[in-house]
Amino acid sequence: MNDRLPATLAALALAGLAAAAFAQDAPQSLPKIRLNAGIHNIDAQVAQTPEQRETGLMFRPSMPANEGMLFTFERPAQQCFWMKNTLIPLDAAFVDDSGAIVNIEHMKPQTLDGHCSEKPVRYVLEMNDGWFAKRGIKPGFKLKGAPWAP
C-alpha cells in the first residue's frame, strides 16, 4: 500500500495543477453594480483586488451590450492596460474621482499594446468596442453610480 502513495500524491498534484490552469483560462464572474452614462444604464462587474484586475475580461468570447467591467484602485495613479488573453475588442474609459472621463482608449484583442490614462485616475471602465462613441460619450462626460455618489 505504501508503494502506491507516491504515485497517488503525484496524481493529486497534477490534478490540482490542471484545475488551477483551467481556472486561469476561464472568465471570472464578479459582483455587479449599476452605473449610468446619461440615459444609458451599465451593469458593471467590479474588479477591485490585484488578482481580479489582472484577469479582468480575459477569456470571454463575448459581452452583452450594456455590460462592462469597472476596475477600481486604492488611489489615483496613471493606469495602463493591455489585452493579453482578451478575446473581444474593448474601449477603456479612464475615469477620475468625480466620475469624469479623462480619456477613452480603443483596445484590440490579444495584444500587448499599452493603453494608459492621460492623468492619474482611480477608475477604468471597460466596455465593448464602440460603446462610448455610439452614445456620443467623450472625455469630460460624467458617469454616475456608487463610486461617485456624494
Q: Which residue ranges form the domains of the chain, and what is each CATH number? A: 29-148 (2.60.120.1140)
The rounded percent of the chain whose pLDDT value lies above 70 is 83
Q: Grid coordinates representing 16? A: 490540482
Bridge partners (DSSP) listed for residue 47? 71
Closest CA to 124 of 141, 104, 106, 144: 104
pLDDT tens, position by position, 27-52: 899 999 999 999 999 999 999 999 99
DSSP 59-83: T-S---TTEEEEEEEEEEE--EE--
141 three-state secondary structure: coil
Closest CA to 28 of 72, 58, 71, 49: 58
Q: Grid coordinates representing 79? A: 493606469
